[in-house]
A and B are shown apart, each in its own frame.
Chain A
Amino acid sequence: MNSTPVAAESDAQTVFRVRGLTKVYHMGEVDVHALRGVDLDLLAGELMVLLGPSGSGKSTLLNILGGLDTASDGSVHYRDQDLTHADERRLTEYRRYHVGFVFQFYNLMPSLTARENVAAVTEIARDPMTPEDALALVNLQDRMDHFPAQLSGGEQQRVAIARAVAKNPAVLLCDEPTGALDSETGVLVLEALERANRELGTTTALITHNAGIADMADRVVHIMDGRIGSEQRNVTRKQASELSW
C-alpha cells in the first residue's frame, strides 16, 4: 500500500486494490510465471477493459479477482476484505454474494433451461432479481425455456450474462465474452454487458485480446507477459452498438 500506481481516486470508491500480485503455476517440471507483480485498482461503477494477447496472464488475474484462484505472492483486496488470505469458505461466500462471471465458452449447465440456469444462481443469492427480469435485460424473454443446445452462441452468452447479473453483483468479471462469437453477435452481447453496467452500476472488468472492444471502456489497461504495460482512459465511452471488429 505504499505506492499508488494505476490511479485510485478515492479509497471509498476502490472496489479492488491489487498490489504486487504474482502467480506461478507449476506445470510438471516447468514453472509458468503467469503474473509478475501486478498493481491495479478498480473503481466502483467503472467498466475496465484488460487488453492483452493470449498467454499474457489476464485470465489468471481475473480468476484471482473473482476468488477462483489464489495468489502466489502479493495482495488483493476487495473493498475491505483481504482475498489473499481468505479461506475456501470466505471465498465461496465472496463469490456467492459479490461476483458475477461471464466466460468465453458460456459454461451453461447443458441440462438446465435458460431460466433454470439463471435460477441456479438466484436461488443462492441474497437479493437477486427474478430470472425472468434478468433474461429480459438481455432480451431473451422469449427463449427462457430453451435448453442451451437450442440456443445460438450469442444467445447462450446472453444467458450467461443474465446469470451473472441476476444476483445484482457488485462486480462483473468477463473473460473474453465475445471470443467465441462473430462480430455482429458479439455486439449484442456487449450491449447486454453495457446495459448492466450502466443501469445497475455494476463494476465491470472485461478481458479480451480484441482491441476493438476497448473503446466501450472507461479505462483500458494493457497487460503483457504478466505485467501491466500501459493504461489509457477514454474520455467518451463508445456505445457497444458502434463497435465492430
Chain B
Amino acid sequence: MRALNWKLWRDLLEMRGMVLAIALVQVGGVATFVMSLSTYDTLLIARDDYYREQRFADVFALLKRAPDTLVGRLLAVPGVERVQTRVVAAARIKVPGFADPVIGTLVSIPENRPPELNSLHLRRGRLVEAGRDDEVLINDSFAGEHGLQPGDYLTATINGRRKQLTIVGVAMSPEYMYAIAPGAVFPDFKRYGIVWMGRAALAAAYNMEGAFNDVSFTLAEGANAENVIQHIDQIIARNGGQGAYARKDQISHRFLSEELKGLETMAAVFPVIFLGVAAFLLNVVITRLVNTQRNQIAILKAFGYSNLSVGRHYAALVLVIVMLGLAGGVAAGAWMGKGLSTLYMEFYKFPFTVYHLHTDVVLLATLVSLVAGMTGTVLAVRRAVQLPPAEAMRPEMPTVYHETLIERLGLQRLFSQPTRMIARHMERRPLKSLLSVGGIAAACGIIMVANFQKDAVSYMIDVQYAMSQSQDLTVSFSEPTSQHALYSLAGLEGVLHAEGMRAVPARLRFEHRSYRGSIQGMEPDGTLRRILDADLDRVELPEQGVVLTDFLAELLDIEPGEQLTVEVLEGNRPVLEVPVVGLTSEYLGVSAYMRRASVNRLLKEGDAINAAYLDIDERHSERIYRELDGMPRVAGTVVRETAIRSFHKTMEETILFFSFVTALLGAAIAFGVVYNSARIALSERDRELASLRVLGFTRGEVAYILLGELAVATLLALPLGYLFGRELCRYLSNAFRSDLYRVPLVLEADTVAFAASVVLASAIVSGALLWRKLNRLDLIGVLKTRE
C-alpha cells in the first residue's frame, strides 16, 4: 500500500499547521508527564542510593542525657538492627567577615572513622582526627554560601564558651539534605550550618563523657517501626527522651517526600488536561478530514480497498500525529526532567546525580497518548470505515441549520445577517462549540496555575511575617530562663520592644491520633507575634486552654471544646489534659498555642521563657548582634529579614522554572485550540465564504463571519477559564496540604490578567494566520468544483 502511504504523508503535509498545533498540545501533555515521572524516578533512586550508602537511620530520638550503657538495652529491642549514639547540640557560630548571627547544629562523629549510621559524604578534606578537639567538618551548602574551605576557621560558642574551630572537611549528609534550623520555616543556608565534631571533644564541652543525647537506629527487615518506637520511648523516657520518630517524620526526609508527592500530582493532573485537549483537537480535525475526503474514501472502496484498510489508513494518520507529539514530548520531557532534576539535586544537596528516564515511563506515556488519541478519533475513523461507498460518492447534504435563540426571541433585527450566521453556526454543533470553549478555558486555567504559586507564596510570606510574626529577631536560649533575661534584652540599646515565649516539646494526642510537636506559650497581649484566624483577625488566647492550627486540629480530628492530651517531652514529663478553645489559620507549620503563664503553671515552673522576640532599630543591628553573641545563655538568633530573603531566593528558581514551562504549555494549548477550530471552520465554510465574496461581501465582512465565531468562543472561554483555573489551583493547593505547609488559594488580578492575555494573544495570532488564508480564498475555483 505504498500509494496510500504517499497519500498519508501528503495529507499530513497539507494540514501541517493543524498537525503541528495538535502535536504541540500533545507535546505539552507528554512532556509534563515524562518530566514529572522521570524527575520523580531520578530523585527516588538518587535518594535511596544516597540513604543506603550513608546508612541513613530508620528511627531517631533526642533525649536529655543517657549513659552509654543504655545502648545494650536499646540494641535488645526487638526489630532494632544497629544503634548509633551521638551528642548533638545547638551553638552560635561566627564566620569571619560575616556580621549576621549564625546558628549551628553540632553533631558528634567518631574520630578517624566514618559514623556507623547517618554517615557523611565527604566533598573535600578529611574526617576529624582523634585527640584534636578543634577539628570540624561543615555541611556543603553552608561552606558554599561562605566560600569556606578546609583550613579555614570558625568560632563557635559551645555551651557558653567561645572556641576557635578548624575546618578539616566539607561534607553532606542525608540527614540534612534540607538543612533547616530547628523551629525555622525556611532553609537559610547562610545562617544555619551543620558542624560535625569529634565525639570526645563535643562530649567534653557538654559534660557528656560516657553519655549521649541523640540516638539513631536501623531496623531489621520486616520490623514494625511503631512497635520499636514505643519500646524505645519506654526505655529513654527516664533519660529525658523527647519521643522517638520514624524516618517518615524526619524533617529533611519529610520535605523531600512532599516534593516527590508534588511531582506525582503533577504527573497525574497536567497530562490529563493536555491529552484531553489533544484528543478533542484530533477529533475535530480527523472528523473534518473524513468529511472532506468522503469522495476519496468512496473511490478507495470502489476500487476494492476494504473497510479495514481504509480505517487503518486514517488510524495511521492519527498515529503519526500522536507519535510526533509523543516523540517531541519525550524529548522535551527528558530535557525538562534533566533540568528539573538538576535543580532539585542542587536544592536538596544530593552528592551525585544521574538522570534516569525509565523505559516504563516512556511506555506509559506512549500508552496514555495512544489511548487518548484513539479515543478522540475512534468515531471519526469509524465513520470512514462505515461510509457506504455509493453514499460517499454523492456530495454531502447541505448542513441543517436552525433558528437560534435570537430568532426565537424575535431579536433578529438587532443583529446583522453575518452575526446571525455566527450564532447559527455555533448553535448547530453545541457540543463542539462547547468543547472548543472548554479547551481554551483549560489553557487559561493552566497558565493561571503558573503564577498561582508565586501569588500563594507571596501571600504566605505576607501573612507569616507582616502580620503574624512582625519581630525583627528571635533569640532562643539554651535552657529555660527567668523572665528577667527579657529585661536585660529589652535594655539593650536599639531594642524597641521585647516579648518572651516559652516553647516545650510535646506529643499531642486525641483518641488514637497523635502529633509530635510543641506547645508555644505566648504573651496574650504580645504585639510582635500574633495568632490569626482564617480572616486574619487576631485570635485571643484565653486564660485556660490551647489554640490549635486548624490543620493540626484536622490531623487529630479534634474540635474546640474537646480535651487534648499533652504529653510534655521535657523535664518531669507531665501528661496534661487541656481543652481546645480555638483554632488559628496558618500556612507554615502547625502549632499549639497557650498563654505563656499557663504553660509555666502546667510545667510547675516560675516565670520561665526560652525564647524572646525583639523589635529593633535597624541602625543598631550590628551592635545588638555583638551583644547577643556575648550572652552565654543565648543559643542562637534568627533574623527575620534574612529568612524572608533567603526563602524567596530558594523558591524563585524553582517557581520561575515551573512558571515558564506552564505558561509555555498553556499558550500551546490556547494556540492549538483556537488555530484548529478556526482552520476547520474555514475548511468547512470556504465555499460559503467564497460565495459571499462573489456576491459582493468585502474581505472584512467575510472575515467577521469566520473570526467572529472565534472571538465569541475566546471571550466565552475567559470567565470559564478563570473558574477552571481557580478550581485547578484549589485542587493543587489541597493536594499539597501537609503539616509542613498549606498553600493558600490566592489569585492576584495580574495572574488572571496574564492568563487572559496569553489566551487572547494566541487567539489573535491564530486570527492573523487565518486572515492570510482568507485573502487567498480562490473565488472561482471554489465555486467550480464540487466539494
- A interface residues with partner B (beta carbon < 8 Å): 60, 63, 66, 68-69, 88-89, 92-97, 99-101, 103, 105, 107-112, 116-117, 119-121, 123-125, 163, 167
Contacts and interface: CB of A to CB of B under 8 A. Distances in A.
Interface string B293-329: 0011011111111110000000000000000000000
Given A95-B301, A111-B11, A163-B303, A63 B4 contact: no
Contact of A68 (B6, B11, B389, B786): B389
Contact of B3 (A100, A107, A119): A119
B6 A93 contact: no
B304 A124 contact: yes
A123 B3 contact: yes
Given A63-B393, A103-B393, A107-B298, A92 B304 contact: yes
B301 A68 contact: yes
B114 interface: no
B554 interface: no
Contacts of B302: 66, 68, 95, 99, 101
Given A69-B389, A101-B299, A125-B304, 18 more contacts: A60-B390, A63-B390, A68-B389, A93-B304, A100-B303, A103-B393, A105-B785, A107-B299, A109-B7, A109-B299, A110-B296, A112-B7, A119-B2, A120-B3, A120-B300, A123-B2, A123-B3, A124-B303
Contact of A101 (B4, B11, B14, B303): B303
B10 interface: yes
Contacts of A107: 295-296, 298-299, 393
12 contacts: A68-B388, A92-B305, A94-B304, A105-B786, A107-B393, A120-B303, A123-B4, A124-B303, A124-B304, A125-B304, A163-B303, A167-B303
Nearest to A64: B390
Nearest to B8: A111
A96 B304 contact: yes
B1 interface: yes
Contact of A111 (B10, B299, B303): B10
A112 to B, nearest CB: 6
A147 to B, nearest CB: 9
A69 B388 contact: yes
B300 to A, nearest CB: 7
A149 to B, nearest CB: 10
A174 to B, nearest CB: 12
Contacts of A66: 302
A32 to B, nearest CB: 12
Interface residues of B, number: 27
Contacts of B300: 120
Nearest to A88: B307
Contact of A112 (B10, B307, B393, B786): B10
A20 to B, nearest CB: 20
A29 B413 CA distance: 33
Contacts of B306: 89, 92, 96
A111 B293 CA distance: 11
Nearest to B781: A149
Contacts of B393: 63, 68, 103, 107
Interface string B114-138: 0000000000000000000000000
A40 to B, nearest CB: 18
Contacts of A88: 307
A112 B3 contact: yes
Contacts of A95: 301-304
Nearest to A126: B304
A163 B10 CA distance: 20
Contacts of B298: 68, 107
Interface in B380-405: 388-390, 393
A68 B390 contact: yes
A198 B390 CA distance: 28
A89 B306 CA distance: 7
A95 B393 CA distance: 15
A116 B304 contact: no
A173 B724 CA distance: 57
B10 A121 contact: no
Interface string B1-31: 1111011001100100000000000000000
Which of A60, A95, A99 has the most CB atoms of chain B within a 10 A radius of its CB?
A95
Residue among B298, B388, B393, B786 having the largest count of chain A Cβ atoms under 10 Å:
B393
Contacts of A111: 6-7, 10-11, 14
Nearest to B307: A88
Contacts of A93: 304
Contacts of A121: 303-304
Contacts of B389: 63, 68-69
B390 A92 contact: no
A111 B298 CA distance: 15
A92 B6 contact: no
A100 to B, nearest CB: 8
B711 to A, nearest CB: 32
